[in-house]
Amino acid sequence: RIELLDDEGNVSVILEGEAGRRAGLLVSTPGAGATTTTIGMDRASGNPFIYMYSGGKASIFATFDAGQASVQLTNEDGTSLTIAP
């Protein structure tokens, strides 16, 4: 975990390594319910991904599946849409 400070010494960004099924670098702001962005790889498939989380229920997940690009969009109300060619 690496905490980046602003000019006044306050934590402004947190960088963390993630483990488990997906390995990546998580970037967030401090505080509960913070927005996050993770850039990483799925360990099982080796596919890269980008995951952006609003801190609520909204998110964007972009990856490749069987050589095809895929983006899943989820709104705060839980509705979702997957875009794939």
- How do residues 3-25 score in pLDDT, each as one tens digit? 999 999 999 888 888 767 888 88
Q: Give ∠ CA 22-27-61 in degrees, rounded to 5.
A: 50
Q: Residue 20: what pLDDT?
A: 77
Is the pTM of the predicted complex or chain greater than 0.85? no
Residue 55 carries which DSSP code? S
